[in-house]
């Protein structure tokens, strides 16, 4: 379970408590008239059946003790049927209803109680419930933790300097741990958790800032001086004026580029906020000085989109563009690589293929859609030779500031918080199955008015082949049925890349009315005339992804629409996501909702979780703590960090920093 030492047991706080002070006999519970009761008893035989609502199942059994009997009901607990054994002892808490058919309890939480001894050990008071596994029960963990507390807790050291503890009124680490496992009341638990969370965030900030400091010391980026003629020409040729937010970010970037400390900046901007021109402006600075720039995108679709933009905005200025991705023919790719390796001033645009190219004179690197690359790759790219490039990371999945400070705490942060003028908010509606045909009628009207539409097909879990086939079938179904007579085509990730490019180009040129696609269009497609986005089975998509998809429309001045086709019975979470999308336009607000709904993000991305993940801090509710930790960490590093604290930061987050450092 990832617990290797008894110390690990101490560090692993319970995730909830069972309140045994409320425990009564079944007879007492029935007579009490209380709405919520806690009782313990033996489980009878278990039945499971579906309900009239699709997807919703209920599980029923009876619970008896010496004084009486009640029936228990669980909703939607599929796995329970397999784990719950008739005859076992359960502590259950829930809502009690007494009626003509006897007493019924709708279970809110339950816990296998084991024998009478274990039960005695549990009560009275708050009983901790630990994350258990199929082999190690929470009861076993409870016993082990109890022993560890008795044996070890007095020896637990506190890494926090006294001065900080006094200033923030923090208890000692050992007292916080004890209260975290065995609180007298729930608010005592919360106080203890916050104490541990603050420490954890402080150590994280120290580790990240220290890493940043080390990187800066390694330094050796070229200071690019003042913008030259090509920069001026670039600005003059733009078909629009930059927004104040874009100007503001550019100023910060200019300042960065003018230093020998390599720029390490994260640029956050909502979908469509215009990050690309900002990136181009930075890249121009590299070439106009005779150096090289590179723009790396996570997908080919997005890389191509950037290539088209560069052909429009950069090539007319006499800047050479070298496009590199997996689908460039070998010979051509070798030729382009050779020019890059020879130090020809140019801007390289591409996918991961860029990673395998050694630039002779890379001065500015832009990494688009930051979140798609893991932390480790972020490090790989910025690890240079003699001089290090200035690096700009960009993301359109706005990360709440708290998360940005955590996951990217070694970066400077800039935000584009306004959209180019003239954009109308996208009207978003949830379309239930019964209204499906109305939706199609309405799409026809939009297309008759000269607009274009996207239809994004349902997500098929981890199976791009099935997903691709579904998209093809949907395109056929629409073309021969509801959208008959319109020019419908399909694009997905399993097509040969040439074919896909042709379809996308035809759509961009207005030669198609409807583009049926899988999520390949999620990022980067920029067709201003497209004003309708239809998402099938929208409730199954994640919030960030839905926001990205919606961001494909609303890029022109026409009113745009997003139609979220919902399955007949969305899960409560799915429903909440759709509602959030209707309510919020801003990616920042949605990211906030997302964080609240999904809980905490992982620092190293899904693939590399584990010991570096946050144990105590909850990014959604602990923002103040995080800001405080950041502030304290900055001050501590300035005044000189003590040995104990430095060691603690390294023990806790050394792995994370190692991942950041690995080249
Ligand atoms: P994103 O931030 O999502 O990458 P893009 O850079 O693709 O956004 O910009 C979205 C669209 O807005 C593009 O068509 C771009 O040309 C346009 N755009 C960018 N900046 C401005 C501006 N200041 N005024 C008007 N249009 C702009
Ligand atoms: Mg973009």
Identify the CATH class of 427-584. Answer: alpha beta
Distance 272 CA to ligand 2 centre (A): 7
Contact 516, 488 (CB under 8 A): yes
pLDDT for position 365 = 92
Burial class from Cβ neighbours inside 10 Å (0-12, 13-18, 19+) for residue 174 reads middle
- Give the pLDDT confidence of 304-341 residue by residue, as tens digits: 889 989 999 999 999 999 999 877 889 999 999 999 99
Q: Same CATH fold, 229-259+273-395 and 6-153?
A: no
Who contacts 522 (Cβ-Cβ below 8 Å, separation ≥6)? 545, 548, 549
pLDDT for position 59 = 87
Which ligand is nearest to the Cα of residue 277, counting in written order?
1
pLDDT for position 178 = 94
- Give the pLDDT confidence of 453-508 residue by residue, as tens digits: 999 987 766 677 887 888 899 999 999 999 999 999 998 878 887 888 889 889 99
pLDDT for position 447 = 96
Which ligand is nearest to the Cα of residue 267, counting in written order?
1
Residue 8, token pair as written in the block: 């690990």
CATH superfamily, region 6-153: Nucleic acid-binding proteins (2.40.50.140)
Atom of ligand 1 nearest to the CA of 368: 4
Which residue blocks in 494-563 are alpha helix, DSSP H? 497-508, 543-550
Q: Is the CB of 274 under 6 A from ligand 1?
A: yes
pLDDT for position 532 = 95
Who contacts 135 (Cβ-Cβ below 8 Å, separation ≥6)? none
Q: Length of the chain, please?
A: 663
The fold adopted by the segment(s) 229-259+273-395 is Rossmann fold (3.40.50)
Atom of ligand 1 nearest to the CA of 551: 3
Distance 556 CA to ligand 1 centre (A): 10
Ordered strands of the 412-416 beta sheet: 321-324, 347-350, 292-296, 362-367, 390-395, 264-269, 412-416
Domain ranges across the chain: 6-153, 173-219+618-662, 229-259+273-395, 427-584
Could you tell me where the beta strands, DSSP code E, fall in 168-319? Answer: 264-269, 292-296
Residue from 420, 521, 524, 547 to probe ligand 1 pocket by mutation (most atoms less than 8 Å from CB):
420
**Which of the residues in the chain have pLDDT under 70?**
54-55, 77-79, 81-82, 113-124, 218-219, 370-386, 397-408, 460-462, 520-525, 598-612, 619-620, 660-663
Residue 46 per-residue DSSP state: -
């Amino acid at each position: 379970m990832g617990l290797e030492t008894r110390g690990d047991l101490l560090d692993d706080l319970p995730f909830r408590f069972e309140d045994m002070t409320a425990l009564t006999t079944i007879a007492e519970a029935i007579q009490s008239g209380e709405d919520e009761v806690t009782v313990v008893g033996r489980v009878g035989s278990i039945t499971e059946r579906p309900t009239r609502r699709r997807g919703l199942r209920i599980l029923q059994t009876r619970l008896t003790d010496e004084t009486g009997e009640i029936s228990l009901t669980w909703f939607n607990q599929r796995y329970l049927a397999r784990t719950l054994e008739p005859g076992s002892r359960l502590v259950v808490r829930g809502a009690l209803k007494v009626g003509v058919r006897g007493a019924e309890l709708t279970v809110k939480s339950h816990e296998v109680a084991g024998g009478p001894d274990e039960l005695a050990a549990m009560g009275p008071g708050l009983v901790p419930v630990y994350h258990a596994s199929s082999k190690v029960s929470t009861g076993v963990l409870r016993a082990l933790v109890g022993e560890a507390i008795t044996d070890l807790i007095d020896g637990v050291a506190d890494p926090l300097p006294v001065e900080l503890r006094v200033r923030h009124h923090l208890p000692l680490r050992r007292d916080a741990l004890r209260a975290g496992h065995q609180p007298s009341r729930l608010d005592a638990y919360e106080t203890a958790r916050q104490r541990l969370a603050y420490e954890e965030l402080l150590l994280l900030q120290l580790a990240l800032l220290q890493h940043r400091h080390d990187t800066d010391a390694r330094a050796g980026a070229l200071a690019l001086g003042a913008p030259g003629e090509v920069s001026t020409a670039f600005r003059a040729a733009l078909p629009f004026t930059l927004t104040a937010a874009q100007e503001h970010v550019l100023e910060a970037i200019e300042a960065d580029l003018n230093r020998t400390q390599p720029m390490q900046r994260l640029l956050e901007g909502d979908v469509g906020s215009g990050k690309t021109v900002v990136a181009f402006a930075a890249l121009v600075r590299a070439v106009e000085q005779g150096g090289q720039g590179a723009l790396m995108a996570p997908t080919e679709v997005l890389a191509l989109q950037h290539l088209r933009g560069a052909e429009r905005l950069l090539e007319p200025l006499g800047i050479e563009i070298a496009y590199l991705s997996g689908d460039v023919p070998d010979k051509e790719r070798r030729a382009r690589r050779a020019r890059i390796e020879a130090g020809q001033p140019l801007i390289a645009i591409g996918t991961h293929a860029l990673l395998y190219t050694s630039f002779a004179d890379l001065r500015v690197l832009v990494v688009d859609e930051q979140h798609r690359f893991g932390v480790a790759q972020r490090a790989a790219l910025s690890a240079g030779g003699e001089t290090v490039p200035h690096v700009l990371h960009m993301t359109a999945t706005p990360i709440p500031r708290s998360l940005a400070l955590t996951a990217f705490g070694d970066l400077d942060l800039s935000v584009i918080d306004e959209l180019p003028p003239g954009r109308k908010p996208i009207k978003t509606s949830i379309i239930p199955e019964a209204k499906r045909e109305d939706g199609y009628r309405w799409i026809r009207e939009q297309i008759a008015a000269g607009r274009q539409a996207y239809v994004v097909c349902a997500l098929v879990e981890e199976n791009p082949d099935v997903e691709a086939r579904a998209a093809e079938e949907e395109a056929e179904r629409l073309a021969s049925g509801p959208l008959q007579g319109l020019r419908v085509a399909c694009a997905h990730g399993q097509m040969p890349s040439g074919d896909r490019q042709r379809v996308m180009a035809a759509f961009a040129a207005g030669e198609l009315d409807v583009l049926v696609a899988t999520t390949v269009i999620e990022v980067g497609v920029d067709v201003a005339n497209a004003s309708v986005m239809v998402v099938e089975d929208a409730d199954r998509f994640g919030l960030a992804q839905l926001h990205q998809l919606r961001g494909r429309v609303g890029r022109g001045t026409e009113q745009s629409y997003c139609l979220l086709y919902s399955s007949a019975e969305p899960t409560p979470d799915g429903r909440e996501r759709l509602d959030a999308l209707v309510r919020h336009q801003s990616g920042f607000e949605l990211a906030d909702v997302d964080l609240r709904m999904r809980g905490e993000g992982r620092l190293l991305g899904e693939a590399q979780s584990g010991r570096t993940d946050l144990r105590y801090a909850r990014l959604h509710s602990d923002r103040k703590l995080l800001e405080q930790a950041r502030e304290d960490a900055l001050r501590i590093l300035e005044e000189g960090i003590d040995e104990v604290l430095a060691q603690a930061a390294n023990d806790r987050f050394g792995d994370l920093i190692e991942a950041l450092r690995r080249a």
